Amino acid sequence: MAAGTGEQGRRFDSGRICLDLVATGPGPLGDREQLDSPARLADWLVATGLVPRGTPLTVVDETWPARFRRLRACVDRLTTAEPAGRAADSALAGLNALAAGPPPGLRAVREDGVLVRVLSEGPDCETLLAAVARDAVELLTDPVARSRLRRCEGETCGRLYLDTSRGRRRRWCSSDVCGNRERVARHRRRLKDDPGPPLEIDA
């Protein structure tokens, strides 16, 4: 899914679906847990594009969010540890176990004269986990992509994202959100430091 905002105000600015998964977790700045129920996980799966819109998701039960949170913990640990040269072998084992499974099968069907993407079979937790885990494996084993991993400099953020900007000078996961907040805060600091000359009031 392209960068932007999905259902329920979720953002997808990271550039990789595995990093979008990491962004669903509660962070050090008090971010809310986004995968705390089957309904919220189902919304996220559709918003990311892992599951085509209109796919019935009645099979998503209470076990699914916990399994995605475990994968999220593995990806989070690895994307933090590996670029810093630290081993995270238990997280790596967990990631590899999930990535070994087959991803969801897809097919194109004609709907109102237009080809649309649907799953070959009903949604399955193992295959959807495998799709995200494989994305993380591809990211972690690609030296170019791995070198572009950045952490947002926004004061109230800290999300991981891929810096694909021309000069590799991107500072925020989203210029429209975190970048704009920083620009507004900088403007307010300037006004506070230099309020300008006092107003002259005619007697």
Task: Please report, for the chain, the start and end positions of each structural domain, with discontinuous segments joined by +.
Answer: 7-151
Tell me the one-letter amino acid at 178. C
% of the chain beyond a pLDDT of 90: 54
| pTM recorded for the entire structure | 0.79
Lowest-pLDDT range of 28-42, 131-145, 149-163, 173-187: 173-187
Give the Cα separation of 92 and 121 in Å (integer): 29
- Eight-state DSSP code of residue 7: G
- Confidence band for 8, pLDDT divided at 50, 70 and 90: very low
Residues 14-48 pLDDT 10s: 889 999 999 998 865 556 899 999 999 999 999 99
**pLDDT tens profile 78-116:** 998 877 778 889 999 999 999 999 999 999 999 999 999
**DSSP string of 40-69, one letter each residue:** HHHHHHHHHTSS-TT---TT--THHHHHHH
Q: Burial code of 15-36, b = ≥16 C-beta within 10 A, e = fewer?
A: bbbbbbbbbbbeeeeeeeebbe
Cα–Cα distance between 28 and 150 in angstroms, integer? Answer: 17
> Which of 23-27, 135-139, 151-155, 172-176 shows the highest mean pLDDT?
135-139
CA distance 48 to 128: 11
Name the fold adopted by 7-151: Jann2411-like fold (1.10.3300)
